[in-house]
Structure 1
């Protein structure tokens, strides 16, 4: 067993082969605009509930749109790592800006379009963007945020029609005539927020190499081809949207189906209407879509949807319902973080998802470790924190924006990413997720995983959803608090009796709090810090 001495300097990861070959997002776009000029790059629904709102954009059309936007952005000063703040719903304009801003050497910062003024103010102050692009719905809020912060940011409010026909966007900015300077692979292309479910949200800086590597790794490990259509229903400010769903088709020449927002009611029907073949989800919205389909009590037609890659997990009762409703849709659990850029662990294309373990390290991952509390390498079957070895700015994030101290705590010795996630490695090499290190509750001398307990409690027929937090206790160190969204037959006594019968004494929460709904991130994860 080896030990990692605190403060010891290890050699940084050597680049055996650069998977990205130094290519940028813009170069991938230009390549497919000639190789698959008339093939679909984007298809979209303006209204997630209405198939008649279907539209499409070919690769050549996308490249031409991005070129126009690049020239208009250049007149606004967007080059040389200048920032652009974008707060739009999922739409063709958002995808086009995601390519055009870094295509000029700028940095794109996508925000939740429905965020409040304080959230907009925090990002404006932190990133000092030259340009903010909003919709008519949130333009007044962002204008007020700019006024209150005093940040010299130009605001462009985009009319509704330009969201779906991007050639009309930024029309007040003339087309520049000077030659555009193409970006390099080392430039920062975008900033993505961490989930912030438990603590302070941070901004992760990602280079062009990061984005291209993500597309390559996901496509090669997941078996994506140019025939796949990736279902973009996740919010675009989330890593799942940019790195797991949009980066792969830029590598393969596939296509992206865009809906303005996630709809649990229309998840499967919108996938069918847009011809989506693959999706990437986290478990909470996946569970919402499942339960809406169960409530509809009719057949589910997912169309051509063949694969859903997911993070986190569902309860056994939910999986049973899933297999009954959509048996033809394959599922595959994968693991990654915004900081790890893309998937780190997952099952192979030919393996059956066991719904219990994540899988093994992906091809293209330099090395992983499970580090026990004493700094030694955890044995098989023993819990440890997952560390991932890589190269910052290529296979790991470049760092946290304007936070070198936190970057140094997270990337150890310049090459080891401390994920903060506790896992167990089984004897067959597959990893099992136990929870965030900060989400392990020590109650009366025993360690309880909030993640595992939530999965068990979500199987109770008396509840619609459950989230777990801890509360300090002078006798037991901490006690378990179950936050419950009750079902139709709810009673607290019945819930506790079910827990005792099905989970034993260890699985009975100490306190129960009833909620009408949970505060959630844009991707559907529960904001545990707000439950407290």
Structure 2
């Protein structure tokens, strides 16, 4: 008897394109995506059906193919969450090219670095960021083609994106083991790394979520996270693509309109991290009226709310099931989660999800720890299938994260309780998590050191009840320094992620003999 491998059993050799085509043939023009733009009012949504989505994607494939979007060439997508973003990603990946999704609000320096990092043949921008990207292209070592999304709803088909050639090239269909996209990490002890994800990774991610979460074809998934985040792509789009379900898309998270959009677009499932979830809850309760989430039945969330927040949630939204999950970009989807029949205890995450080969907790020597003891979480799988394929052009970092026995070292500290559920203890790596987003202090420091208004910068985090953490930047000023001028430079050159919450000036930094800043002494430094 022939053995059955994951190659055949879980993914069926499907790709993003073959999934879209299969549902277009089955569902016709039933809703694939509803798109709502600010000010997020009822009746303002546009809808794109499965057949129209597939036809538009194929047109994009042909027109992108004419400029060399194929054969694992990179295309930079600097797009907010939108139908244009997901259809372009599928078109790029279906041609055998690689979609590198980035924050569309990056500043000039970060955009230039992104272009130089992956040498894209094309960049897809918006009318909002096209000028900054044009400047970045002019300053980079490359000269990619620039295409601009004029209608993110894609109501005009491929003509919604200007600059595309009129000539068309018939594309070939890619295999499932090709890299489909690069997603950025937040960075740890160094700059952000790019995670390589294959078509098989994407299909595995969607399958794992559907099978562990009891999602159904009647669900509508709420895509409100930034498109370059794993949460949007793997937790919102992929379950819909696996099931032939639908998606409610908004360009960005709105705390004040989160529940209203969910209600009038028929959302049933959402995926959130704790900070924006808390913001939405507080904004809704501040208005002093009953919160109506409509058909919203389940929110899968990462990290935890405070006991006071949970009390507020139970008072206003007892009908919405909450279920904590854990995963990383490198794990392609959830690793730990509660089962659909289990009540969420709001303290532990859950058990290993279906489709996970194995997990273990180890100490600093690599030895397994006892039940109840903290240890680093390791996840076993197969690169390019159940785990990331690796880090883009970074074999050293890949080898450090993925060992030869197939274990991914997450860098997160957990404890396993006697009932088998896991508790998140903390991050071993130096990451600041502000408002649900991971920010690398090391990367910020490197970028801020380009500012002519300062001599040096050191970034620290302070606990903040609303944001989880505030970014505090300690600086040694240069001539002409002002706090407002420095903040403006950060906003323009790094993007909104790099704007500090507080700025503190010093005449010098405390340092070790080797020259490293002693972070714990910064608060008392002159």
Please indicate the TM-score interval, normalised by the length of the shorter structure.
0.7 to 0.9
1:223 aligns with 2:242: no
Aligned-partner Cα distance in 1 for 2:320–2:139:
49
Alpha-carbon distance change, 328 to 303 in structure 1, aligned in 2, over 3 angstroms = same
2:137 alignment partner, one of 135, 146, 166: 146
Equivalent residue number for residue 339 of structure 2: 348
Aligned-partner Cα distance in 1 for 2:275–2:300:
13
Q: Which moved more, 1:201-210 or 1:191-200?
A: 191-200
User: How far does the alpha carbon of each residue in 1:169-193 deviate from its partner, in whole angstroms, 9 at most, with x for none?
Assistant: 3454345555320010010000001
The within-5 A match list for 1:26-37 is 26-37=17-28
SS of alignment partner, residue 59 of structure 2: helix
Root mean square deviation, CA, Å: 3.0
1:365 aligns with 2:365: no
Equivalent residue number for residue 516 of structure 2: none
Can you give the 5+ residue segments of structure 1 that lack an aligned partner in the other structure?
1-13, 441-449, 459-466, 470-479, 488-515
* Alpha-carbon offset, residue 112 of structure 1: 1.2
Note if contact 2:34-2:247 (Cα within 8 Å) is conserved in structure 1: yes
* Alpha-carbon offset, residue 240 of structure 1: 0.3
Equivalent residue number for residue 156 of structure 1: 147
Aligned-partner Cα distance in 1 for 2:465–2:305:
17
Can you give the 5+ residue segments of structure 2 that lack an aligned partner in the other structure?
442-459, 468-486, 505-518, 520-526
Count of aligned pairs: 456
* Alpha-carbon offset, residue 121 of structure 1: 0.9
* Alpha-carbon offset, residue 49 of structure 1: 2.4
The within-5 A match list for 1:213-252 is 213-252=204-243
The within-5 A match list for 1:372-521 is 372-438=363-429, 482-484=462-464
1:111 aligns with 2:70: no
Q: Which moved more, 1:38-47 or 1:419-428?
A: 38-47
Equivalent residue number for residue 85 of structure 1: 76
Alpha-carbon distance change, 273 to 34 in structure 1, aligned in 2, over 3 angstroms = same
1:52 aligns with 2:43: yes
Alpha-carbon distance change, 17 to 34 in structure 1, aligned in 2, over 3 angstroms = closer
Note if contact 2:65-2:169 (Cα within 8 Å) is conserved in structure 1: no
Using structure 2 for the length normalisation, give the TM-score.
Answer: 0.81
Alpha-carbon distance change, 16 to 167 in structure 1, aligned in 2, over 3 angstroms = closer
The within-5 A match list for 1:243-392 is 243-392=234-383
Equivalent residue number for residue 523 of structure 2: none
Equivalent residue number for residue 481 of structure 2: none
SS of alignment partner, residue 200 of structure 1: coil
User: How far does the alpha carbon of each residue in 1:122-146 deviate from its partner, in whole angstroms, 9 at most, with x for none?
Assistant: 1101100000111111101000000
Aligned-partner Cα distance in 1 for 2:359–2:207:
19
Aligned-partner Cα distance in 1 for 2:14–2:348:
34
SS of alignment partner, residue 267 of structure 2: coil
User: How far does the alpha carbon of each residue in 1:334-364 deviate from its partner, in whole angstroms, 9 at most, with x for none?
Assistant: 0000001100000001110000000000010
Equivalent residue number for residue 127 of structure 2: 136
Equivalent residue number for residue 176 of structure 2: 185
Aligned-partner Cα distance in 2 for 1:529–1:435:
24
* Alpha-carbon offset, residue 525 of structure 1: 12
* Alpha-carbon offset, residue 261 of structure 1: 0.8
SS of alignment partner, residue 52 of structure 1: coil
Note if contact 2:79-2:103 (Cα within 8 Å) is conserved in structure 1: yes
SS of alignment partner, residue 387 of structure 1: strand
Alpha-carbon distance change, 418 to 273 in structure 1, aligned in 2, over 3 angstroms = same
Alpha-carbon distance change, 15 to 158 in structure 1, aligned in 2, over 3 angstroms = closer
Aligned-partner Cα distance in 1 for 2:498–2:284:
20
Aligned-partner Cα distance in 1 for 2:29–2:422:
42
* Alpha-carbon offset, residue 68 of structure 1: 0.8
Equivalent residue number for residue 476 of structure 1: none
User: How far does the alpha carbon of each residue in 1:408-446 deviate from its partner, in whole angstroms, 9 at most, with x for none?
Assistant: 000011510000000000001000000112369xxxxxx
Alpha-carbon distance change, 222 to 135 in structure 1, aligned in 2, over 3 angstroms = same
SS of alignment partner, residue 396 of structure 1: coil
Aligned-partner Cα distance in 2 for 1:271–1:486:
23
* Alpha-carbon offset, residue 38 of structure 1: 2.5
Alpha-carbon distance change, 439 to 316 in structure 1, aligned in 2, over 3 angstroms = farther
Aligned-partner Cα distance in 2 for 1:433–1:524:
25
Note if contact 2:34-2:45 (Cα within 8 Å) is conserved in structure 1: yes
Aligned-partner Cα distance in 2 for 1:398–1:486:
36
SS of alignment partner, residue 28 of structure 2: coil
Note if contact 1:336-1:345 (Cα within 8 Å) is conserved in structure 2: yes
* Alpha-carbon offset, residue 277 of structure 1: 0.5
Alpha-carbon distance change, 145 to 174 in structure 1, aligned in 2, over 3 angstroms = closer
Aligned-partner Cα distance in 1 for 2:240–2:59:
22
Alpha-carbon distance change, 35 to 527 in structure 1, aligned in 2, over 3 angstroms = farther
Note if contact 1:48-1:259 (Cα within 8 Å) is conserved in structure 2: no
SS of alignment partner, residue 51 of structure 1: coil
Note if contact 1:234-1:523 (Cα within 8 Å) is conserved in structure 2: no
Note if contact 1:233-1:258 (Cα within 8 Å) is conserved in structure 2: yes
Note if contact 1:48-1:270 (Cα within 8 Å) is conserved in structure 2: no
Note if contact 2:121-2:144 (Cα within 8 Å) is conserved in structure 1: yes
Note if contact 1:71-1:175 (Cα within 8 Å) is conserved in structure 2: no
Note if contact 2:35-2:153 (Cα within 8 Å) is conserved in structure 1: no
Aligned-partner Cα distance in 2 for 1:528–1:282:
20
Aligned-partner Cα distance in 2 for 1:161–1:360:
39
* Alpha-carbon offset, residue 110 of structure 1: 1.5
